[in-house]
Structure 1
């Protein structure tokens, strides 16, 4: 088989792998194309296992991208491009790939090596020996990285019928009201003395980092309806919350605190690290 045939046959799997690691369709496509360029330059004659090489090179490129992201400055939410047709296309991609935005943000919160070890081994059945080579660690260390990732991922997924699952229903109701611009419903879900705090890097210039009162928070939230069109509920450090993921990439986290009656008393918005 020619090298290009190996690549075309492996391309869907490589794209799926890169998307799970990077959380972005465009970044996944870029990584896979770069991997092909590098492997092609080596030539088929030098590769005894083209599929293995393509997987390894793609994974290493993804690790490099994850590390580079930590050095990028955040953009205010209003500066992000939220074209509706792009959101619809990304939603279709996510459904095809059967990857939820909640899983993407849980993966995104993992250290790069844990994330790569989990995706490669648990989702794509790459042997730990190969995972270890990709990450430049010993096989037992690769196993520990994947194990730690599993533990962290389980912590973000509540069992049905538990208090945490009930709290996520409040988050879902809040997000639905925000998407629909339902001011009355938003106010009803908020405690009268609720407080919204946000990292200033996520806010347009002049926007206060704190907003007090149900009416003020509901009005502001409705103004950001398009920005949370791709938000998904999940547990964050055991607390109810959501992730804002434009273009499929986890960008900002929303943490909610609830009173015993289920009303939202505090909303904290922070960037995904």
Structure 2
């Protein structure tokens, strides 16, 4: 084996970890792969001689690349409505995609990612590296151009915002599914009052595209149980065509009439009620997410597939 091949083999041992770091930083699967590839380019160019901890070195390289990408994204102001809906990791309820499951192993939920998008790039880097991956502030400080004490403060600010904005999701998938099943059943029955009991009064619905708009529109965000319930009733004819999936490890649904993906729904459940719904309805984005495979779609409709016990998320 050549020296180059040995280096590539060593890099591959860290790829899953590096993808998880990049996903926490970026919330974009395409950008994740770009960041990890850039780390490989830099390693291949410089070599690993003198690097005692290759995994730690690569983590810092990926973090720096991600920081630059976040800053560039902020400058471009990609979301005119003021928020960026992170790209979800979608898996079948039966599993079977080792690469996606590896990404989820140490990753974060969608509700957390939504809040991470509200942080400054430096705050996000400090929080993700320290709180999620245990990187000391002495190593984080040079990346953000601050002292270790200042980097600690950035992570602390991020932590406070996350605590105030990100609802703690229900971890038991069977309880999540009970709430989501009831939501779809009430929508299909046209039971507005029942929907109100299943939705938190301050529920938030975010969508990357409004499929009901006559003219194509961008990202939208609506608040309140009554508004969200009315939207659920509007789309109730699609309920029979929903298929269960896992979105960042939590219960979700793929709406696919005649097997053609129409939208992806991700739910955050807290204390038995739905507190957040993220809807992905942009056709190009659904295609990029790669959720059209038979392993995701399955062969039955939601009402048939969602029956039976569910595993407990640990």
Q: Which TM-score applies when normalising by structure 2? A: 0.55
The unaligned stretches of length 5 or more in structure 2 are: 170-174, 243-254, 256-262, 290-314
Provide the aligned length of Structure 1 versus Structure 2: 229
Q: In structure 1, what is the equivalent of residue 268 of structure 2? A: 232
- Write the distance in 1 (CA, Å) between the matches of 2:187 and 2:196: 15
- Write the distance in 2 (CA, Å) between the matches of 1:190 and 1:125: 41
- Write the distance in 2 (CA, Å) between the matches of 1:213 and 1:39: 51
Measured after TM superposition, the shift of residue 125 of structure 1 is 1.2
Instruction: Give yes or no for contact 2:71–2:121 (8 Å, CA) kept in 1.
Output: yes
- Write the distance in 2 (CA, Å) between the matches of 1:65 and 1:107: 15
1:63-212 equivalences in 2 (<5 Å): 63-70=67-74, 71=76, 73-74=78-79, 88=92, 92=101, 95-97=104-106, 99-157=108-166, 173=179, 177-178=183-184, 182-186=188-192, 188-190=194-196, 202-203=209-210, 204-206=213-215
Secondary structure, aligned partner of 1:99 = coil
- Write the distance in 2 (CA, Å) between the matches of 1:215 and 1:46: 59
Instruction: Give yes or no for contact 1:179–1:229 (8 Å, CA) kept in 2.
Output: no
- Write the distance in 2 (CA, Å) between the matches of 1:62 and 1:47: 21
Q: In structure 1, what is the equivalent of residue 23 of structure 2? A: 19
Instruction: Give yes or no for contact 2:187–2:232 (8 Å, CA) kept in 1.
Output: no
More helix by share: 1
* C-alpha RMSD over aligned residues: 4.8
Measured after TM superposition, the shift of residue 145 of structure 1 is 0.7
The unaligned stretches of length 5 or more in structure 1 are: 161-168, 235-239, 250-273
Q: Which TM-score applies when normalising by structure 1? A: 0.62
Cα shift readout 1:92-133 (whole Å, capped 9, x = no counterpart): 566544532222222222222111111111111111111111
- Write the distance in 2 (CA, Å) between the matches of 1:230 and 1:201: 12
